[in-house]
Structure 1
Amino acid sequence: MSQRNEQPSGEKDPLEPDVRQIVQAAGNEALAPEEKAVLWERIEYSISEEKPVYRRLWWKVAAAVVVLAAAGWWMLREKPAAENGVLAFARQQQPVADTSTETRLVLGNNRQVTLSGASASLTYGQNGTRVMVNEEQQYEQGAGSDIQYNTLIVPYGRRAKIIMEDGTEVWLNAGSRMVYPVVFNGKSREVFLEGEAYFDVAQQADQPFFVFTNELKTSVLGTAFNISAYADDAEQTVVLVQGSVKVNANAGDAEQLLTPGYKAGYSVAGRGISKEHVNILAYTAWKDGRLVFTRAPLPDILKKLSRYFNILITTETNSKSTFSGDLDLADDISTVLDAVSVSTGLKYERTTDGIILKKK
């Protein structure tokens, strides 16, 4: 008769606490990579010891299943926004084309409408099927049970304003793209932004408003705020004018809760969100045709002017000086550059590539 080495029924498998520890961690908080490695080593070591074949196999399978489940839970927790409808739809689209010269509206049926003029406007009816362009042209689009997205693309040198079907007003700055449903009929109102926009959100306590960028999610109920999320900027910012908003990174746990007058700054490289009190007008005056800057580096000022006027404006100086001022962007570009020249002590010259500021 063959002999089997059986473990006494009252003795617990030494592997069991390790598996239970992973289960508990998955239910509460994800394990750090180094903690996972230590636990896994202990599991493998315990499995390598001589135990009954069936019991050893069961615990090995259970350990693998639990580790995989914990990893899957962590991935879902880390990237909740990745499955968001508007974010997924926006990421499938082409980025804003710098070569575009006119503002474009892409309807749900992929029909494209050109909006002429430096400042365009869109007004949606209550059910989102009717949209008024520049207060003179009207377009119809079908309303079905499936979500239909519209996309507004604003090139450099242009601005636009949208009045959404819920009454929310959005001002889009030059070089921006916004993707949004024609009607908000879900539990939340969600839009995507690339570039810069000022939001005045209609308050609906039972239907919170979310603005997604490629890096951030801003959550609001009813408030006014500015978001800047240009692809070529090292920082994305959210500045609160009134109300309250919560700003989260799409990946990771970085988060800031803002009160009026504060800015959340997300470092694309560092993946962290800072918070500081700022001059609100320095971030919102653009929607009223002004550029207000407080202790701003010259390259930052010139980048904003380049976007607004759709012409490359650079400087050959490496000065770290900062400047404060208020420019009226309704003036022509020469008048604006004259003011910049006086403030900086530099002269400007037109080149084949654009405009350059240099020492006098």
Structure 2
Amino acid sequence: MMQNEISDALLFKFFLGETTNEETDRIAAWLDENPEEHQQRMKKAHELFVNSIMGEPDLIPEADRRIGYRLLHSRPVRRVVGLAAALLVAVGASYLFFDSRMERMAGAPTSIEAPAGQHVRMALSDGTIVELNSKSRIVYPALFTGRERRVRLEGEAMFDVRHDEEHPFVVETYACDVEVRGTHFNVMADEETQAFSTALFEGSVAVRNKLNDEHILMEPNTVVNLRNGHLWLDELTDRDDYLWTEGIISFGGDSFGQIMDKLRRYFDVEIEIRRARLPEVKYKRLKVRTSEGVDHILRVLQRGSDFAYEYDDLENRIVIR
């Protein structure tokens, strides 16, 4: 097989995950024929593909631009940071997949982190949908192999797991493992603050405490929290804390200090409080769209609380007075 038999158009289809089994086998055989030279060719095509996604047409030759346009715009593509990041991770996983043998590379770990102030929606290779909250990170294999489907989470994520009775899905965190076979649930695991919770909306999950090996089997509309090293099961009565997947941050019943902690984590902003006593919050329930930004949220909060603030957006720093 000659090098020119593998076109950029075919490689673009591969990066999008749209090649047939026969086309995928052709690319694999082509890479095996001349790994060093053909890997460089694939890398160049990958760069063109990435530039097409990120909207840098001036960097793409006219002929390749037409190829990229037809492929990338043959279906709706949302050009947002979160989806672009998720797609690039998928591309990288597919590219590395043929860098060596399938059995060795299929389980290679890949990671993605949601930018501060945003959330990322992505699909894993088994069809499971994951939404990552701000500054949260997930580590997962390019393809799931073996008895279980295991991922590692740092931060908060909402999962809609594709049902597979024979291959349980496991979310590993610093404190607990959450095992499911197909369900809809939220996991929050912040090692820095030693906070952990799991909220179950549909299906069933088992939570195992790594500290003492205690287990709790959850039913829908329940929540498990880690307190003083032990798991506590409660009824889930308020879902406002999980509206972040809709771009909404909720402060229902939170104290001023708790609200500041949420803003610090979500927007990755430094907040210094220069007053001896924290102000009271008159709001019993407050929901604000995160897209409005931290400055807007503070102005809304001022209507129900007595405080002043200075916001330096260049330094990403807030002083509360």
Answering whether residue 176 of structure 2 is matched by residue 208 of structure 1, we say: no
- Map Cα deviations across residues 105-164 of structure 1 (whole Å, 9 max, x no partner): xxxxxxxx99988741269xxxxxxx8339999962215213211111334334322201
Indicate the residue corresponding to 1:261 in structure 2.
Answer: 221
User: Within 5 A, what are the aligned runs for 1:163-242?
Assistant: 163-242=123-202
Letter in 2 for 1:347: A
* Distance apart, 1:326 and its partner CA: 0.9
CA–CA separation in structure 1 for the residues paired with 2:240 and 2:81 = 21
Indicate the residue corresponding to 2:64 in structure 1.
Answer: none
Unaligned runs of 5+ in 2: 1-49, 55-78
- Report percent identity of matched pairs: 24
Letter in 1 for 2:298: L
2:240 is matched with which residue: 282, 296, 302?
282
Task: Mark the structure with the bigger radius of gyration.
Answer: 1
Indicate the residue corresponding to 2:22 in structure 1.
Answer: none
Letter in 2 for 1:302: M
* Distance apart, 1:167 and its partner CA: 0.7
Indicate the residue corresponding to 2:303 in structure 1.
Answer: 342
Answering whether residue 102 of structure 2 is matched by residue 142 of structure 1, we say: no
Q: Indicate the SS of the match to 1:275.
A: strand
Letter in 2 for 1:336: I
TM normalised by structure 1 equals: 0.59
Q: Indicate the SS of the match to 1:132.
A: helix
User: Within 5 A, what are the aligned runs for 1:1-16?
Assistant: none
| 8 A Cα contact 1:198 1:226, kept in partner | yes
Unaligned runs of 5+ in 1: 1-112, 124-130
* Distance apart, 1:343 and its partner CA: 2.4
- Map Cα deviations across residues 234-264 of structure 1 (whole Å, 9 max, x no partner): 3211111211111111131322222222211
Indicate the residue corresponding to 1:308 in structure 2.
Answer: 266
* Distance apart, 1:314 and its partner CA: 4.6
Indicate the residue corresponding to 2:82 in structure 1.
Answer: 120
* Distance 1:234-1:166 versus aligned 2 partners, 3 A rule: same
* Distance 1:137-1:254 versus aligned 2 partners, 3 A rule: closer
Aligned length: 237
Q: Indicate the SS of the match to 2:242.
A: helix
* Distance 1:314-1:265 versus aligned 2 partners, 3 A rule: farther
* Distance apart, 1:273 and its partner CA: 0.8
* Distance 1:353-1:174 versus aligned 2 partners, 3 A rule: closer
CA–CA separation in structure 1 for the residues paired with 2:184 and 2:232 = 20
Root mean square deviation of aligned Cα: 3.1
* Distance 1:309-1:243 versus aligned 2 partners, 3 A rule: same
Indicate the residue corresponding to 1:46 in structure 2.
Answer: none
CA–CA separation in structure 2 for the residues paired with 1:298 and 1:292 = 13
CA–CA separation in structure 2 for the residues paired with 1:245 and 1:320 = 38
* Distance 1:156-1:300 versus aligned 2 partners, 3 A rule: same
| 8 A Cα contact 1:120 1:134, kept in partner | no
CA–CA separation in structure 2 for the residues paired with 1:122 and 1:210 = 26
CA–CA separation in structure 2 for the residues paired with 1:280 and 1:209 = 26
* Distance 1:133-1:281 versus aligned 2 partners, 3 A rule: farther
CA–CA separation in structure 2 for the residues paired with 1:278 and 1:296 = 17
| 8 A Cα contact 1:189 1:210, kept in partner | yes
CA–CA separation in structure 1 for the residues paired with 2:272 and 2:237 = 25
User: Within 5 A, what are the aligned runs for 1:42-191?
Assistant: 119-121=81-83, 132-133=87-88, 140-142=95-97, 144-146=102-104, 147-191=107-151
Q: Indicate the SS of the match to 2:304.
A: helix
TM normalised by structure 2 equals: 0.65
CA–CA separation in structure 2 for the residues paired with 1:347 and 1:256 = 45
Letter in 2 for 1:331: E
* Distance apart, 1:346 and its partner CA: 2.4
Indicate the residue corresponding to 1:23 in structure 2.
Answer: none
Indicate the residue corresponding to 2:30 in structure 1.
Answer: none
| 8 A Cα contact 2:295 2:311, kept in partner | no
